[in-house]
Amino acid sequence: MGQLFLEKQEIETRHVKIHETFLKGSTFEVIETKVREAKPEVAITQVYWKVTNIQKPGAETMKGIFTHTFVKINGIWEIAATQNTLIAP
């Protein structure tokens, strides 16, 4: 099941909700980061992550991968798109 968020407020509202419920007290850890330049001023990153101490029986730990596409606009790197994929336990 996926969800699409288009605006900053949608992302913020979702994160506030999950951090007040099943992710309350959890710990987020970056395991590994890979960066590859696709072409000048465009980079793809993969961020492998783990969340522990989740307040949801049977899902105390989650692992996943963020895939970010960055573009350099006026000298500043910005996230153009992000995909967050869970890794099956």
pLDDT digits (tens, 9 = 90+) for 11-40: 888 889 988 888 888 999 999 999 999 999
pLDDT digits (tens, 9 = 90+) for 73-83: 999 999 999 99
- DSSP assignment of 21-68 equals TTTTT-EEEEEEEEEEEEETTEEEEEEEEEEES-SSTT-SEEEEEEEE
Q: What is the pLDDT of residue 1?
A: 58
CA–CA distances in Å: residue 52 to residues 27, 58, 62, 63, 84: 5, 12, 7, 9, 17
**Whole-prediction pTM:** 0.80
